Amino acid sequence: MHKIFALGLTAFLAGSSLAYAQAAAPAEEHFSKSDWNALTDARIGVVKAALQLKPDQTKYWQAIEDAIRARATMRQEHVAALKARVAEKTEFQPVEFMSARADYMAQRAEALKKLADAWKPLYATLDSDQKRRMRFVAMHVLNEFQEHAGSRRAHEEDDEDDD
* Close Cβ partners of 121 (under 8 Å, ≥ 6 residues apart): 60, 63
The pLDDT tens digits for 104-129 are 999 999 999 999 999 999 999 999 99
Query: Environment class of residue 15 by beta-carbon count within 10 Å: exposed (0-12), middle (13-18) or buried (19+)?
Result: buried
User: What pLDDT, on the 0 to 100 scale, is given for residue 53?
Assistant: 96
Per-residue pLDDT at 101 exceeds 80: yes
Please report, for the chain, the start and end positions of each structural domain, with discontinuous segments joined by +: 2-162
Among 36-40, 52-56, 84-88, 110-114, whose mean pLDDT is lowest? 84-88
The whole-number average pLDDT for the span 19-27 is 44
DSSP 28: T
